[in-house]
């Protein structure tokens, strides 16, 4: 929605005053990626329909992959999407 007022008055958005931030606990589902990797996918989620279908939040690890191939995901198109990875420890090579 557009506000065409050149000097709009401040508007408070969100929950009721004094209730703190809004928090939702969403259950992740296990999703296989490639041949050896399983992630816990939080988004997209039926409980959060306002988030688009192309917004993914996955959690992977920690895993001890000393005797495993590690995260092996074959090349796949992102169709103009951007990938952001937060790596807390270790390393990952994302080539696409």
The residues spanned by each domain of the chain are: 29-59
Where is pLDDT greater, at 65 or 58? Answer: 58
Please give the average per-residue pLDDT across 78-84, as a whole number. 70
Q: With 60 as the cut, is the pLDDT of residue 1 above it?
A: no
Using CA atoms, how far residue 24 sits from 4, 7, 18, 52, in Å, is 33, 34, 17, 17
Task: Give residue-wise pLDDT tens across range 15-56.
Answer: 566 666 667 788 899 998 877 788 898 888 887 777 766 778
pLDDT (0 to 100) of residue 30: 93
d(CA 45, CA 55): 10
H or E element, residue 59: strand 57-59
**Comparing C-alpha atoms, which of 74, 87, 93 is closest to residue 36?**
74
């Amino acid at each position: 929605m557009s506000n065409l007022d050149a000097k709009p008055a401040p508007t408070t958005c969100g929950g009721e005053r004094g209730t703190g931030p809004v928090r939702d606990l969403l259950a992740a589902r296990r999703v296989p990626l490639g041949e050896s990797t399983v992630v816990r996918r939080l988004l997209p989620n039926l409980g959060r329909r306002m988030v688009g279908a192309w917004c993914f939040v996955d959690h992977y690890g920690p895993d001890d992959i000393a005797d495993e191939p590690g995260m092996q995901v074959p090349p796949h198109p992102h169709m103009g999407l951007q990938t952001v990875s937060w790596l807390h420890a270790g390393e990952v090579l994302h080539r696409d």
